[in-house]
Protein backbone atom coordinates (compact mmCIF):
# COMPACT_ATOMS: atom_id res chain seq x y z
CA UNK A 1 0.00 0.00 0.00
CA UNK A 2 1.26 3.47 -0.84
CA UNK A 3 2.00 5.55 2.21
CA UNK A 4 0.06 8.79 2.48
CA UNK A 5 2.61 10.08 4.93
CA UNK A 6 4.53 12.46 2.72
CA UNK A 7 5.06 15.38 5.07
CA UNK A 8 8.21 15.92 7.08
CA UNK A 9 8.45 17.55 10.47
CA UNK A 10 10.87 18.79 13.04
CA UNK A 11 9.52 17.92 16.47
CA UNK A 12 10.90 20.27 19.08
CA UNK A 13 11.07 19.86 22.80
CA UNK A 14 10.06 23.10 24.52
CA UNK A 15 11.94 23.84 27.75
CA UNK A 16 15.68 24.16 27.13
CA UNK A 17 15.26 24.01 23.34
CA UNK A 18 12.73 26.74 22.50
CA UNK A 19 12.83 28.72 25.72
CA UNK A 20 15.40 29.20 28.45
CA UNK A 21 15.14 26.41 30.99
CA UNK A 22 16.15 27.75 34.40
CA UNK A 23 16.51 24.20 35.75
CA UNK A 24 13.07 23.55 37.07
CA UNK A 25 9.62 24.49 35.83
CA UNK A 26 8.59 27.35 33.62
CA UNK A 27 5.44 28.10 35.56
CA UNK A 28 4.19 31.34 34.11
CA UNK A 29 4.50 33.38 30.95
CA UNK A 30 6.61 35.91 32.89
CA UNK A 31 9.27 33.16 33.12
CA UNK A 32 9.04 32.23 29.44
CA UNK A 33 11.93 33.59 27.36
CA UNK A 34 12.46 32.35 23.82
CA UNK A 35 16.15 31.60 23.27
CA UNK A 36 17.88 34.13 20.99
CA UNK A 37 18.38 32.06 17.82
CA UNK A 38 15.15 30.09 17.92
CA UNK A 39 12.88 32.26 15.77
CA UNK A 40 15.33 32.62 12.86
CA UNK A 41 16.18 28.92 13.15
CA UNK A 42 12.59 27.70 12.98
CA UNK A 43 11.99 30.05 10.04
CA UNK A 44 14.81 28.28 8.17
CA UNK A 45 13.28 24.90 9.02
CA UNK A 46 9.84 26.06 7.91
CA UNK A 47 11.29 27.39 4.64
CA UNK A 48 12.98 24.01 4.13
CA UNK A 49 9.55 22.40 4.17
CA UNK A 50 9.39 21.03 7.69
CA UNK A 51 6.25 21.19 9.77
CA UNK A 52 7.08 22.56 13.22
CA UNK A 53 5.55 20.61 16.09
CA UNK A 54 6.26 21.10 19.78
CA UNK A 55 6.30 18.00 21.98
CA UNK A 56 6.58 18.88 25.66
CA UNK A 57 6.16 17.27 29.05
CA UNK A 58 4.36 19.56 31.46
CA UNK A 59 4.21 17.35 34.51
CA UNK A 60 4.09 20.46 36.66
CA UNK A 61 0.37 20.47 35.97
CA UNK A 62 -0.07 17.07 37.64
CA UNK A 63 2.12 18.25 40.52
CA UNK A 64 0.10 21.43 41.00
CA UNK A 65 3.02 23.71 40.16
CA UNK A 66 0.90 25.52 37.56
CA UNK A 67 -2.30 25.04 35.62
CA UNK A 68 -3.28 24.08 32.09
CA UNK A 69 -4.39 27.70 31.68
CA UNK A 70 -0.84 28.88 32.44
CA UNK A 71 0.48 26.49 29.78
CA UNK A 72 -2.15 27.62 27.28
CA UNK A 73 -1.17 31.25 27.83
CA UNK A 74 2.49 30.43 27.18
CA UNK A 75 1.59 28.45 24.09
CA UNK A 76 -0.59 31.22 22.71
CA UNK A 77 2.37 33.57 23.07
CA UNK A 78 4.76 31.06 21.47
CA UNK A 79 2.35 30.44 18.59
CA UNK A 80 1.98 34.18 17.96
CA UNK A 81 5.74 34.74 18.15
CA UNK A 82 6.44 32.04 15.58
CA UNK A 83 3.66 33.26 13.30
CA UNK A 84 5.12 36.76 13.45
CA UNK A 85 8.52 35.29 12.55
CA UNK A 86 6.89 33.63 9.51
CA UNK A 87 7.53 30.20 10.99
CA UNK A 88 4.04 29.01 11.89
CA UNK A 89 3.79 26.15 14.36
CA UNK A 90 1.56 23.34 13.15
CA UNK A 91 0.75 21.97 16.59
CA UNK A 92 1.79 21.86 20.21
CA UNK A 93 1.35 18.61 22.12
CA UNK A 94 1.88 18.57 25.87
CA UNK A 95 1.53 15.89 28.47
CA UNK A 96 0.18 17.14 31.81
CA UNK A 97 1.03 13.88 33.56
CA UNK A 98 3.79 13.00 35.97
CA UNK A 99 5.03 9.71 37.39
CA UNK A 100 4.07 10.87 40.86
CA UNK A 101 0.39 10.69 39.98
CA UNK A 102 0.26 7.73 37.63
CA UNK A 103 1.60 6.21 34.48
CA UNK A 104 1.12 7.90 31.13
CA UNK A 105 1.94 6.81 27.61
CA UNK A 106 1.99 10.38 26.37
CA UNK A 107 4.64 11.67 28.73
CA UNK A 108 8.13 11.38 27.20
CA UNK A 109 9.94 8.96 27.02
CA UNK A 110 6.60 7.63 25.80
CA UNK A 111 6.12 8.27 22.11
CA UNK A 112 2.34 8.69 21.98
CA UNK A 113 2.40 12.47 21.42
CA UNK A 114 4.72 12.05 18.44
CA UNK A 115 2.70 9.12 17.09
CA UNK A 116 -0.49 11.17 17.27
CA UNK A 117 1.16 13.99 15.35
CA UNK A 118 2.52 11.60 12.71
CA UNK A 119 -0.98 10.28 12.07
CA UNK A 120 -2.83 13.59 12.28
CA UNK A 121 -0.52 15.48 9.92
CA UNK A 122 0.46 12.58 7.61
CA UNK A 123 4.12 12.85 8.54
CA UNK A 124 6.70 10.35 7.39
CA UNK A 125 8.84 9.59 10.46
CA UNK A 126 11.83 8.68 8.31
CA UNK A 127 11.95 12.22 6.92
CA UNK A 128 11.59 13.81 10.34
CA UNK A 129 13.62 14.75 13.39
CA UNK A 130 13.09 15.38 17.08
CA UNK A 131 15.32 17.97 18.75
CA UNK A 132 15.60 17.68 22.50
CA UNK A 133 17.91 18.33 25.40
CA UNK A 134 17.12 15.18 27.39
CA UNK A 135 17.56 11.50 26.65
CA UNK A 136 13.83 11.03 27.17
CA UNK A 137 13.22 13.26 24.14
CA UNK A 138 15.34 10.96 22.01
CA UNK A 139 13.72 7.85 23.48
CA UNK A 140 10.30 9.21 22.57
CA UNK A 141 11.53 9.92 19.05
CA UNK A 142 13.06 6.46 18.66
CA UNK A 143 9.81 4.86 19.81
CA UNK A 144 8.03 6.62 16.95
CA UNK A 145 10.72 5.86 14.38
CA UNK A 146 11.94 9.47 14.28
CA UNK A 147 15.62 10.40 14.37
CA UNK A 148 16.68 12.31 17.46
CA UNK A 149 19.11 15.19 17.77
CA UNK A 150 20.37 15.87 21.28
CA UNK A 151 21.50 19.41 22.01
CA UNK A 152 22.71 20.93 25.28
CA UNK A 153 20.09 22.65 27.42
CA UNK A 154 19.62 26.29 26.32
CA UNK A 155 21.99 25.82 23.38
CA UNK A 156 21.57 28.02 20.31
CA UNK A 157 19.33 26.02 17.97
CA UNK A 158 20.80 27.77 14.93
CA UNK A 159 24.11 25.96 15.47
CA UNK A 160 22.46 22.57 14.97
CA UNK A 161 20.51 23.25 11.79
CA UNK A 162 23.15 21.56 9.63
CA UNK A 163 22.15 18.27 11.27
CA UNK A 164 18.58 18.77 10.07
CA UNK A 165 19.21 20.16 6.61
CA UNK A 166 21.57 17.56 5.20
CA UNK A 167 20.67 16.48 1.71
CA UNK A 168 18.79 13.22 1.93
CA UNK A 169 19.11 10.29 -0.42
MG1 LIG B 1 13.77 20.07 27.64
CATH number of the structural domain spanning residue 14: 3.40.50.1000
pLDDT digits (tens, 9 = 90+) for 36-91: 999 999 999 999 999 999 999 999 999 999 999 999 999 999 999 999 999 999 99
Would you say residue 51 lies in a domain? no
- Ligand 1 is a single-atom ion; what residues have CB below 5 A from it? 13, 15-16, 133
Would you say residue 158 lies in a domain? yes
Would you say residue 69 lies in a domain? yes
Q: Taking CA 29 as the corner, what is the angle to CA 16 and CA 46, rounded to the nearest 5 degrees?
A: 55
Rounded to the nearest whole angstrom, what is the distance from the C-alpha of residue 20 to the centroid of ligand 1? Answer: 9
Would you say residue 88 lies in a domain? yes
Rounded to the nearest whole angstrom, what is the distance from the C-alpha of residue 91 to the centroid of ligand 1? Answer: 17
> pTM of the full predicted structure?
0.94
pLDDT digits (tens, 9 = 90+) for 112-137: 999 999 999 999 999 999 999 999 99
**The total number of structural domains that make up the chain:** 1
Q: Which residue range forms the structural domain that includes residue 121?
A: 8-46+58-163
Would you say residue 134 lies in a domain? yes
Rounded to the nearest whole angstrom, what is the distance from the C-alpha of residue 38 to the centroid of ligand 1? Answer: 14
Amino acid sequence: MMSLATNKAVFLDRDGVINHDPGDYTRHISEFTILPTVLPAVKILHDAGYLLIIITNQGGIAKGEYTAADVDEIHAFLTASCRQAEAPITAIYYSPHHESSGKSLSRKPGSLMIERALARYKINPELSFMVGDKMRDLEAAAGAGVKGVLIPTNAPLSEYLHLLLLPRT
